[in-house]
């Protein structure tokens, strides 16, 4: 790593969201509630889509994996963040930082591609309903989900190996609440050209490819809805993908706001709030959006609450 005349960094200091001591306890309870809601909501989605016989369709199969990814993505960040609110020294070891960064990249990239996969599922359901069970058979669903995790893993291994191959030895203060690429590379005294290019290239390709799939899917969905004669039919077709449209808009909107504008247009506070949104708030909001707007999920929750033991035996 670092040359022999420099001290190799063994830990980093995470500055967190605020440096005001009087706000730390308040922030701890706020984000404890957010994380608790995230865990409860996503576990609820995972459980219901696993045990309820009426939710054994491709759409809910993808929704289950979205919940798994959201839960893991939040868990990679939130526990360490909560602990740091309560301690004056907000440190994270070098290897824990690398693990946190790697885990975050795996799950955020997987989420990007799962949302694209769900857009394809909506497209087939609305535009080719007669071929639905063929186009999204169980084998195809398993293949698509496996590929999303594989893309996340490949991206994480490539980008994180580049980021953590540079030398750190001068400063170890990260002005974030988690290990992010930009502040990490800013601490390095060695050439960061290759890690920056790797991070930019993989982020751009992943985001662009998934957005193309989403945009093409929804372009065809909108055309198909406009061709439906009855208003009831249009409403039914729209309701099939309404929740996914909301989730996609919020998720991609946040990422584009974060990464498209020039860095000079970003303040540190804006970057931190955007990071909070896509690392902690979106994983909390997704199960709420799907459960509040989806009658099948609400009915499944009622059946589960009425007879939980019978449902759990089916797992």
- Only one residue has tokens 């919020």, namely 250
pLDDT string in tens for the chain (315-residue length): 444 444 578 899 998 888 788 889 999 999 999 999 999 999 999 999 998 888 899 999 999 999 999 999 999 999 999 999 988 888 999 999 999 999 999 999 999 999 999 999 999 999 998 889 899 999 999 999 999 999 999 999 999 999 998 888 768 899 889 999 888 888 888 888 999 999 989 988 999 999 999 999 999 999 988 888 888 878 887 887 888 888 998 888 887 776 665 555 555 667 788 889 888 999 999 998 887 667 888 888 888 888 766 655 555
State the alpha helices, DSSP H only, in the chain.
21-51, 58-85, 94-127, 132-135, 138-163, 181-186, 193-227, 231-259, 268-276, 282-293, 295-306, 308-313
Give the strands of the sheet with 91-93, arranged side by side: 91-93, 11-14, 173-174
Indicate the SS3 state at residue 294: coil
| Residues constituting the chain | 315
Which residues does residue 259 pair with via DSSP β-bridges, in sequence order?
Answer: none
118 in Cβ contact with 91 (< 8 Å): no
| Residue carrying the six token digits 């639905």 | 132
Q: What pLDDT does 70 receive?
A: 96
Query: What's the CATH number for 11-260+268-313?
Result: 1.20.1070.10
Contact 85, 31 (CB under 8 A): yes
Domain ranges of the chain: 11-260+268-313
Burial class (CB in 10 A: 0-12, 13-18, 19+), 71: buried
Distance CA 149, CA 146 (A): 5
Contact 253, 281 (CB under 8 A): no
CB atoms within 10 A of CB 197: 11
Contact 194, 147 (CB under 8 A): no
């Amino acid at each position: 790593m670092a040359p022999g005349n420099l001290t190799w960094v063994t830990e980093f200091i995470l500055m967190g969201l605020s440096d005001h001591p009087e706000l730390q306890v308040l922030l701890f309870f706020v984000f404890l509630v957010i994380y608790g809601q995230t865990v409860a909501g996503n576990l609820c989605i995972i459980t219901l889509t696993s045990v309820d016989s009426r939710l054994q369709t491709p759409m809910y199969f993808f929704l289950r994996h979205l919940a798994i990814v959201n839960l893991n993505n939040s868990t990679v960040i939130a526990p360490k963040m909560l602990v740091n609110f309560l301690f004056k020294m907000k440190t994270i070891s070098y290897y824990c930082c690398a693990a946190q960064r790697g885990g975050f990249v795996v799950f955020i990239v997987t989420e990007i591609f799962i949302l694209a996969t769900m857009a394809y599922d909506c497209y087939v359901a609305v535009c080719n309903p007669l071929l639905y069970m063929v186009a999204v058979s169980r084998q195809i669903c398993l293949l698509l989900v496996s590929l999303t995790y594989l893309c996340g893993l490949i991206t994480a291994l490539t980008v994180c190996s580049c980021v953590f191959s540079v030398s750190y030895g001068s400063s170890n203060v990260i002005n974030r609440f988690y290990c992010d690429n930009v502040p990490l590379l800013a601490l390095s005294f060695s050439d960061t050209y290759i890690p920056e290019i790797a991070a930019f290239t993989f982020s751009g390709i992943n985001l662009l490819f998934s957005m193309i799939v989403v945009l093409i899917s929804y372009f065809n969905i909108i055309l198909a809805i406009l061709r439906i004669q009855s208003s009831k039919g249009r409403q039914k077709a729209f309701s099939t993908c309404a929740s996914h449209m909301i989730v996609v808009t919020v998720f991609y909107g946040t990422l584009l706001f974060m990464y498209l504008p020039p860095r000079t247009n970003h303040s540190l506070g804006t970057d931190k709030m955007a990071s909070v949104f896509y690392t902690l708030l979106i994983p909390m909001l997704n199960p709420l959006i799907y459960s509040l707007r989806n009658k099948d999920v609400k009915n499944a929750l009622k059946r589960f609450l009425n007879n939980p033991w019978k449902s759990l035996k089916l797992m």
